[in-house]
C-alpha cells in the first residue's frame, strides 16, 4: 500500500502545482479538481494503511479493508475513463 500512497502523493503535488501555476481560471479549476481527487485517495490510503498496521489481523477488519481497496480500484477506473474521454474530446 506504500506504493499507492506514494503515487497519490506524487499526483496530488503535480496537479496542485499545475493549478497554482495556471494562467486561466478554467485551467486552474480542472487542475484543482484533479488535485483534490488525488488528495482524497491519499487520505483514504493512509487511513487504510494505518488500520491495516494496527488491526489488520482481525478477520472482520481484514474483510473491510479488502472491500475498501476494491472500492478504491473502482474509483480509479472511473477516473481513468473520465480522463480518457477528456483526451479524446
Distance (Å, whole) CA 52 – CA 8:
18
Distance (Å, whole) CA 10 – CA 38:
9
Distance (Å, whole) CA 41 – CA 44:
5
How many domains does the chain contain in total? 1
Q: Which pLDDT value is given to residue 60?
A: 92
pLDDT in tens, the chain (89 residues): 889 999 999 999 999 999 999 999 999 999 999 999 999 999 999 999 999 999 878 899 999 999 999 999 999 999 999 888 888 76
* Residue 24 φ then ψ, to 5°: -105, 145
Q: Which pLDDT value is given to residue 47?
A: 94
Structural domain boundaries enclosing 35: 2-88
Amino acid at each position: 500500500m506504500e506504493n499507492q500512497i506514494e503515487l497519490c502523493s506524487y499526483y496530488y503535488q503535480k496537479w496542485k502545482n499545475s493549478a497554482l501555476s495556471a494562467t486561466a481560471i478554467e485551467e486552474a479549476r480542472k487542475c484543482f479538481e484533479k488535485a483534490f481527487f488525488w488528495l482524497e485517495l491519499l487520505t483514504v490510503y493512509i487511513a487504510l494503511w494505518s488500520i491495516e498496521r494496527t488491526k489488520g489481523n482481525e478477520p472482520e477488519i481484514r474483510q473491510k479493508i479488502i472491500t475498501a481497496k476494491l472500492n478504491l480500484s473502482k474509483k480509479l477506473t472511473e477516473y481513468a475513463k473520465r480522463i480518457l474521454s477528456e483526451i479524446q474530446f
